Structure 1
Amino acid sequence: MITSFFNKSRSIYLIIVFFIALLAFVIARINGVNQDFNFDFLLKQAFLLIVVYASILLLNFIVNKNSLTNKNNYEILLFSLFLLFITQTTINSNVIWSNLFVLLGLRRIISLRSPSNTKKKLFDAAIWISIAALFYFWAILFFVLILLSLVLYSDNNIRHWLIPFLGVLTVLVITASLSVILYDEFFEIYKFSPEISYDFSNYNSISYLIAITVLLSFGVWSSIFYSNNIKKKKKAFRVSFKTIIIAAIIGFFVVIFAPNKDGSEFLFLFAPLAIIIANYIDIIQEKWFKEIFLAVLIIVPFVLLML
C-alpha cells in the first residue's frame, strides 16, 4: 500500500518530501535556537531552507541522471525522513552549505563514467569539494573519493591525477586573495577547524540512540545487498554504484572525526545512505516485507518527535 502510493502518486510526491523537510527544519529551530524570531532571522532561515530544498532536488537529479535507482524517487523521501530522524542536521548553516557543495562534487565524480571532458569533471569536482571544506573542514575527506574513482576506473593518465590537486590549489589561492583584500591577512578568511573529537556523549539520549541505531542498522543491512547487487548492473554503471558506497563510508568518518558532535555532521551521510537504502527497497521481492521496511522508516522519526 505504502510503496504503491509513492510509486503512483508522483504529482504530490515532491510536496510530501518538501513538507517533511520543512517539518524537520521548523522543529529544529523551535527546540534548538535561542534567538528572537525577527524579520532578519526569518529571512536567513528561509534562504537556508531553500538550500536544503536545492540539496534534495540535486540528489534527485544525480540519481535520475545516472540511473542509480529505478526512478521511484525513494531516495529523496528517505533523505527528508533522515532529516526528521535527526532534526539537528538542519541547524548548522555551514554544514548545510558544505553538504550542498559535496553533492555538486559527487555529481561530477559520478559523471566520470562518461569518458568525455574528464579533465573538466575532475577539476570541477575538486573545486566543489574544496569549497565544501571552507564551510566545514572535514568535508575535505570527500577529496579521497575523487582519487579512489580514478583507481576504480583504472586511469593511468598522470595528468588526471594532478588535476584534482590543481583544483584544490585554485580554491586556496582565490580564497587567500579574497582574504588579503577583505582583511589584509592571507588566512583570516579560512574557517579551518582540523580538530578531532571522540567525545560521543552528546549522542547519549533516547532520541539520538534510536535514530542512530535505526539508520545504521538499516544502512548496513541494505549495504550488504546493495554491494552484492552491483555485479548485476551494467559494467558502465558499476563504478558509480561503488562510488556511493565509498561516499557513505567517508560520510561515516566525517561523523567520527567531527569536533563538535551536535548532530549536524550526520547530514554528510544522508545522501549516499538514502541511495543505498532506496536500492535495497527496489530489490525486495516480498511485498509485505517491503511495506514494513518502508513503514518503519516513515513512522519512527515521527515517534521520535514525541520523545
Structure 2
Amino acid sequence: MIASIFSKSKPINFIIVFFITVLAFFMARKNLIINDFSVGFIFKQLGMFLLCCLTILVINFIIYKNNLTNKNNYDILLFSLFLLLFYQTTNNTYILLSNFFVLLGLRRLISLHTQKSIKKKLFDAAFWFGIATLFYFWSGLFFILTIISLLLYTDNNIRHWIIPFVGYLTVFIIAISVWLITNRDVTFSFNLKDFISFDFSIYNTTNYLIGTTFALSFGIWASIFYVQNIKKKKKSLRVSFKIVMLAAVIAFFVIILSPLKTGSEFLFAFAPLAIIITNYLQTIQENWFKEVFLSMLFVVPFLLLLL
C-alpha cells in the first residue's frame, strides 16, 4: 500500500512527508521545558523547521531535474523517515545549514551531465561547498567531489581544474574580509584533537544501535544493486549517479571524523541514501516484496519512538 501511494508524484505524498517531518522535529524537542520558550526561540525553531522543509523540496528538485529516479516520491519519503529515525538531526542549526549548502553544491555537480555552463557550475559547486564548510568544518570534504567529477568526465581543460579552487577560496576571502571589517578575531589555532573524534560512546544506546544498523544494512544492500545498475543508465547520466554514490561515501567519513558526536552528523548521508534506496526499490519486480521492504523502512522509525 505504501509503495503504491508513493509510486507516483502526488500532493498527498508531500502532506504525509510534511507530517513525518513535523513529528521528527517535535520529538527532538520533547524534553524542552516551558521556561525555554521565548519569542526569539520560537522564531529560531520556526526557521529551522522551514529549513528542513526547504531541504526536502531541494532534494526533490535535484532528483526531478536530473532524472535520478523515476517519477515517484520514494526519495522524499525516505528522507523524512531518516529524519524521524535520527530526529536529533533537526536540532543542530549549523549542520542543517551546512547540509543545505552541500545539496546546492551537489545540484550543480550532478547537472554537469548537460555539458552546459561548465565553468559556472564548477565555480558554484565549490562556492556552495565553501559556505557549507563555514558552518560545519568536515562538510568541506564534499569539495573533493568537484575534483572527482572532473576526473570522471576526463576533463583536460586546465581552466576547469583551477575554477573549483577559485570558487572555494572566494568564500574564505569574503569571510575573512567580513571578520576583519567587523573587528572579529581571525587568528586560528589549529588543534587536530578539536577537529577529529573517534569517541562513538554516544551511539551506544538502543535507539542509535538499532537505527544505525537498520540504515546501514538497508543502505549497503541497496548500494550493491545501485552500483550494478549504473551501467544500465544513459551514458550521459552515469557520472551523475556515481557522484551520488561518492557523496554517500564522503558523508560516511564526515560521520566518522565528526568532533562532536550528537547524531546530527548523520544528516549528510540522508539525501544520497534516499536516492540510492529509491533506485533499488525501482528495480524490485515483485510488488509484495517492494511493499514489505518499504513498510519496514516506514514502520521501524515509528517503533523506535516507543523505546
TM-score by length of 2: 0.96
**1:192-215 deviation digits (Å, cap 9, x = unpaired):** 996110110000000000000010
Q: Which residue of 1 is the match for residue 208 of structure 2? A: 208
* Matching of residues 110-121 of structure 1 within 5 Å: 110-121=110-121
Q: Which residue of 2 is the match for residue 4 of structure 1? A: 4
Aligned length: 305
Q: Which residue of 1 is the match for residue 244 of structure 2? A: 244
Deviation, 1:169, is 1.3
Contact 1:138 1:194 in 2 (8 A): no
Runs of 4+ in 1 over 3 A off after TM superposition: 31-35, 184-188
Percent of pairs identical after alignment? 59
| Structure 1 pair 72–193 and aligned structure 2 pair: CA distance change class (3 A) | farther
Deviation, 1:250, is 0.2
**1:245-289 deviation digits (Å, cap 9, x = unpaired):** 000000000000000010000000000000000110111111111
Q: Which residue of 1 is the match for residue 40 of structure 2? A: 40
Deviation, 1:183, is 2.2
Deviation, 1:18, is 1.1
Q: Which residue of 1 is the match for residue 94 of structure 2? A: 94
| Structure 1 pair 91–155 and aligned structure 2 pair: CA distance change class (3 A) | same
Unmatched segments (≥5 aa) in structure 2? none
Deviation, 1:97, is 0.2
* 1-structure distance, mates of 2:86, 2:167: 33
| Structure 1 pair 87–34 and aligned structure 2 pair: CA distance change class (3 A) | farther
| Structure 1 pair 202–212 and aligned structure 2 pair: CA distance change class (3 A) | same
Q: Which residue of 2 is the match for residue 265 of structure 1? A: 265
TM-score by length of 1: 0.96
Deviation, 1:4, is 1.2
Deviation, 1:302, is 0.3
* 2-structure distance, mates of 1:34, 1:101: 33
Contact 2:9 2:71 in 1 (8 A): no
* 2-structure distance, mates of 1:105, 1:34: 39
* 2-structure distance, mates of 1:10, 1:196: 43
* Matching of residues 282-293 of structure 1 within 5 Å: 282-293=282-293
Deviation, 1:185, is 3.6
* 2-structure distance, mates of 1:228, 1:208: 30
Q: Which residue of 2 is the match for residue 72 of structure 1? A: 72
* 1-structure distance, mates of 2:34, 2:94: 18
* Matching of residues 40-59 of structure 1 within 5 Å: 40-59=40-59
Contact 2:7 2:71 in 1 (8 A): no
* 1-structure distance, mates of 2:123, 2:297: 37
* 2-structure distance, mates of 1:182, 1:9: 47
Q: Which residue of 2 is the match for residue 26 of structure 1? A: 26
Determine helix, strand or coil for the equivalent of 2:70: coil
Deviation, 1:72, is 0.3
Q: Counterpart amino acid of 1:130?
A: G
* 2-structure distance, mates of 1:90, 1:71: 27
After superposition, the CA RMSD in angstroms is 1.8
Q: Counterpart amino acid of 1:222?
A: A
